[in-house]
Amino acid sequence: MKFRSDPSGIRGSIAPLVTPFTGTGAVDHDSLRGLVRFQLEAGSHGISLGGSTGEPSAQSVQERIAGIRTVAEEIGDRVPFLPGTGSHTLGETLEITAAAKESGADAVLVITPYYARPTQEGLYQWYATVAREFPGLPVVAYNVPSRTAVDIAPDTVRRLFAEFDNFVGVKETTKDFEHFSRVLHACGRELLVWSGIELLCLPLLALGGSGFVSAAANLAPQAVARMYELWEAGDFEAARDIHYALHPLVDLLFVETNPAPAKWVLARQGRIASAHVRPPLVQPTEAGLARIRTLLAEGGDLTRQIGA
């Protein structure tokens, strides 16, 4: 919560954790605490839970709230905590956001409501409601049109940023790189913008982005954090070296639906007790596992930097 009063300092690699489950499918809070410790040891600049990588739509509201409380407690204000609190219903979004605020979250990531396909006015009203309800809590829009079937427009972001002091940024998970530029152009570079697309993390920094929320940080947290630090230090070639070295791990994440491949690797490394994913996701197929093993062999050096 100590970072809540100045969200402009929430920068760098914000690691979006998987949600570990036991072999029978319950949320595994012990493994979740271990993942937080792993990220802190690796030097991640912040932690998130409840984005797409965390399987939020497969969990109940109470499970999501319990996970947020576990992570907040384990972080203990050492780095910023930005949990995902959005849902497809406004009531659930407000309930989870309230719990995140009470737990000490520094900001919240609120996904564009999925399935309903709202207009831009509907999106404005949605985020305006959240911002008004929690005036002291920084709100970050989470734009992921590949999963929600709706894209929050730069002008809608500009409108929210201009009208609400606590609407501070957007996590952009779109492969339309022009969109990143148009959002920053519309709002000014005071807007905090993070990339959720792994191979656009480094390019976004050149536009003035704040950092990234990259699923690759689950497997190679030190490398992802170091890439940001090198860029900020002006060592652009070394940052590019890490960007390209991450390619096999990025491809690994999406051999089959994220986060099943990442969970398989984390379980293999002993970082989580089980690779279980909840329906409708399934464990990687044999063909998928063959590809995952190949990519892990290519990019595995980056996963071993912190005792893996």
Is residue 245 a contact partner of residue 279, using CB atoms and an 8 Å limit? no
Active site residue 101: no
Distances in whole angstroms, Cα of residue 206 to Cα of each of 157, 169, 203, 296: 20, 17, 6, 29
Active site residue 175: no
Gap between the Cα atoms of 251 and 278, Å rounded: 22
With H, G, I as helix, E, B as strand and everything else as coil, classify residue 14.
strand
Catalytic residue among 142, 175, 228, 263, which?
142
Q: Which residues pair with 212 in a beta bridge?
A: 13, 195
Gap between the Cα atoms of 229 and 240, Å rounded: 12
Please report which residue ranges of 110-256 form alpha helices under DSSP H: 120-133, 145-148, 154-163, 177-187, 201-207, 221-232, 236-245, 247-253
Catalytic residue among 171, 175, 244, 263, which?
171
Phi-psi region of 108 (alpha: psi -120 to 50; beta: other; left: phi over 0): beta
Q: Which residues are catalytic?
A: 142, 171
